[in-house]
Structures are given as structure tokens and as C-alpha cells.
């Protein structure tokens, strides 16, 4: 990505969603595009995932809010991995 990049797009496909002893989760594969160039693709065991947990809100390092502004979100492991 550069300042000249006109369109940034993320394509994501949910591969699995379910619930286990730790709560609800979803696992996906995703591709990041800058204009018409594939910049990054993530899939397989290290692919993106999300887990639903009880609580007041996300606890993120560096003072990031729920959208990750102001800090980096911690890496998450795929459920069952």
C-alpha cells in the first residue's frame, strides 16, 4: 500500500462457526487487496478467527479501542489448535 493506492479491499469467507467449552467462535480465510493487487492472503490453521467471550469489552494492549485504534490487537489462536 502506498498513498497512491486508490482502493483498499478485504475479502473474507467464514469457513467455520460454532461453539465449544470456551464459547462461540468463527474461523475464516481472508485476502487484502490494494487496487487490483493481492497484498496478503491468510488461510489454514493460522488464518483469522474470532472468539466471543463474556465481559465489559476488549482488553487490548497499548490502549487500543474496540476497533484496534491506538494499539495492536494480540494474535489469536484458532479454536482447537
What are the sequence ranges of the domains in the chain? 8-52
The DSSP-derived string for 44-61 is GGGS-EEE---SSS---G
What is the structure's pLDDT at 73?
43
pTM, rounded to two decimals: 0.53
CA distance 12 to 48: 9
CA–CA distances in Å: residue 58 to residues 15, 51, 61, 68: 24, 11, 10, 10
Question: Which residues of the chain register pLDDT less than 70?
Answer: 57-81
Amino acid at each position: 500500500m502506498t498513498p497512491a493506492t486508490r482502493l483498499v479491499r478485504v475479502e473474507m469467507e467464514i469457513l467455520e462457526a460454532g461453539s465449544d467449552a470456551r464459547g462461540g467462535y468463527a474461523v475464516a480465510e481472508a485476502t487484502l487487496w490494494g487496487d487490483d493487487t493481492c497484498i496478503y492472503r491468510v488461510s489454514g490453521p493460522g488464518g483469522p478467527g474470532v472468539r466471543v467471550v463474556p465481559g465489559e469489552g476488549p482488553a487490548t494492549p497499548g490502549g487500543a479501542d474496540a476497533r484496534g485504534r491506538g494499539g495492536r490487537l494480540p494474535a489469536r489462536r484458532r479454536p482447537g489448535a
